[in-house]
Amino acid sequence: MSQAADRPLDRHDIKTLLLAALGGALEFYDFIIFVFFAITIGKLFFPPETADWVAQMQTFGLFAAGYLARPVGGVVMAHFGDRIGRKKMFTLSVFLMALPTLGMGLLPTYQQIGVLAPVLLLGLRLLQGAAIGGEVPGAWVFVAEHVPERRVGLACSVLTAGLTLGIMLGSSVAALINISLSADEILAWGWRIPFLLGGVFGLLAVWLRRWLEETPVFEAMRQRKALSRELPVKTVIRDHWRSVLQSMLLTWTLTAAIVVVVLLSPTLLQKMFAIPAPLALQANSLATLCLTIGCVLYGAASDRYGASRVLALGSLALLGSIYLLYLGQQHALPLFATYALTGFCVSIVGVIPSVIVRAFPAPVRFSGLSLSYNLAYAIFGGLTPLIVSLLLKASPLLAPAHYVGVLSLVCLVLAGLRLPRPATAVTAT
């Protein structure tokens, strides 16, 4: 063991967690701010005669493109993360995110350069996807390998809370812009502000990560010359495919909860129930705050009571809360209260990363987690907006709840299988 499994978190652990979480928040803001301006982007980057629902589908298609690029970027960065170091890839990913985000804020619209506008937007979105594909798995591996074994659940959930903090920051910036500017001002220039801010945030995150150190687990493997001697992803596919499948199913639940409840619901609530944009975004910010706090609580509970038990109870809570949110709007229940409760229940996703981290041994951990997580996100997360849009035709008022509800049941089944642990602990080399 590289560290005592039962020791409390020390000052160095806390510094690492806070810096990693803050950097992750700033980078995740860059990736998700796109969705909060989906309606505006649809009007600006596609022909003006395009029907609203077609423009929305096209915009969500661009949103999905970022997810489809994640496996490529994730596998490449994970390969080098397993071979030359976690920290180097952890820093590179945030730099690669800052540049395309800044580019989006400076991009000409369809009216200015025609069809080249959505093409360039697509290219920048693909670059964002490649960057986030290395960031999220790398961040979980990084913090898990820095803390004692019995604090891995808390560490991963704190990092996840940082990522959700980035979503909350995006939602808050979007709400502030919608409150401060008129619809015409947003269309004219206001939509650029959050992307330009994102570029600055990304560069700040690069600066923050210079204070982090390589993980003790990777350093121990390097000294013992125990690094993977073949392509890490090849080892993962050949020897750990069951862990890959389990991790992909868990990630599917995570994508359903985050993408539908946090990223899509502000837009869906506006269209389905005629809720004003500022009100929907303010409620979303409150829900994301509850999600951020809940992630830490769920992660700490998983260290104490076990991931299987916490996941099972959390899945049932998510199932009930998502229907309460959408049925509640049909029966005039308070939006802020129901959305906040649902946001807290979504925080069960804070437990999932620690389960996936434990599913792979240290020499191929980054590659195993990255392949599973990013492949699942590319398939399920990227297609979720399109699937929900199609389901709305069959169930105009409950399609989002049905989708999240089914995945809650999938997570419940996986928790019932007791989520077998690997032979090696996270901090063992």
pLDDT, tens digit, 9 for 90 and up, residues 163-174: 888 878 887 888
User: Which are the contacts of 379, defined by CB distance < 8 A and separation ≥ 6?
Assistant: none
Dihedral, CA atoms, 255, 256, 257, 259, nearest 10 degrees?
Answer: 70
User: Which are the contacts of 95, defined by CB distance < 8 A and separation ≥ 6?
Assistant: 202, 203, 206
Distance CA 253, CA 74 (A): 20
Lowest mean pLDDT segment, chosen from 79-83, 120-124, 406-410:
79-83
- The b-or-e profile of 330-351 (16+ CB within 10 A means b, else e) is eeeeebeebbbbbbbbbbbbbb
In a domain, 90, yes or no: yes
List the structure tokens of 309: 């038990």
In a domain, 422, yes or no: no
Within 13 Å, how many C-alpha atoms sit on residue 276's CB side? 7
Mean pLDDT computed over every residue of the chain = 83
Distance CA 81, CA 222 (A): 12
What integer is the mean pLDDT of 401-427? 76
CA-closest candidate to residue 132, choices 383, 378, 387: 378
**Encoded amino acid at 252, one letter:** W
Distance CA 327, CA 323 (A): 6
- Greater confidence (405 vs 97) lies with 405
Cβ atoms of 317 and 371 within 8 Å: the answer is: no
- Greater confidence (63 vs 37) lies with 37
Lowest mean pLDDT segment, chosen from 18-22, 323-327, 369-373:
18-22
Residue with tokens 């975004």: 281
In a domain, 399, yes or no: yes
Cβ atoms of 310 and 351 within 8 Å: the answer is: yes
In a domain, 424, yes or no: no
pLDDT at 226: 61
In a domain, 177, yes or no: yes
Asked whether the predicted pLDDT for residue 360 surpasses 70, the reply is yes
pLDDT at 406: 93
pTM of full prediction above 0.75: yes
pLDDT band at 247 (very low <50, low <70, confident <90, very high): very high
pLDDT at 278: 81
What integer is the mean pLDDT of 305-310? 90
**Domain containing 202 — which CATH number?**
1.20.1250.20
Distance CA 77, CA 287 (A): 32
List the structure tokens of 102: 């800044």
What integer is the mean pLDDT of 86-105? 84
How many separate domains does the chain show?
Answer: 1
In a domain, 4, yes or no: no
Cβ atoms of 351 and 299 within 8 Å: the answer is: yes
In a domain, 190, yes or no: yes
pLDDT at 429: 43
Lowest mean pLDDT segment, chosen from 226-230, 255-259, 339-343:
226-230
Q: By residue range, what is the domain housing residue 265?
A: 11-416
pLDDT at 423: 40
- Greater confidence (161 vs 15) lies with 161
Asked whether the predicted pLDDT for residue 51 surpasses 60, the reply is yes
In a domain, 427, yes or no: no
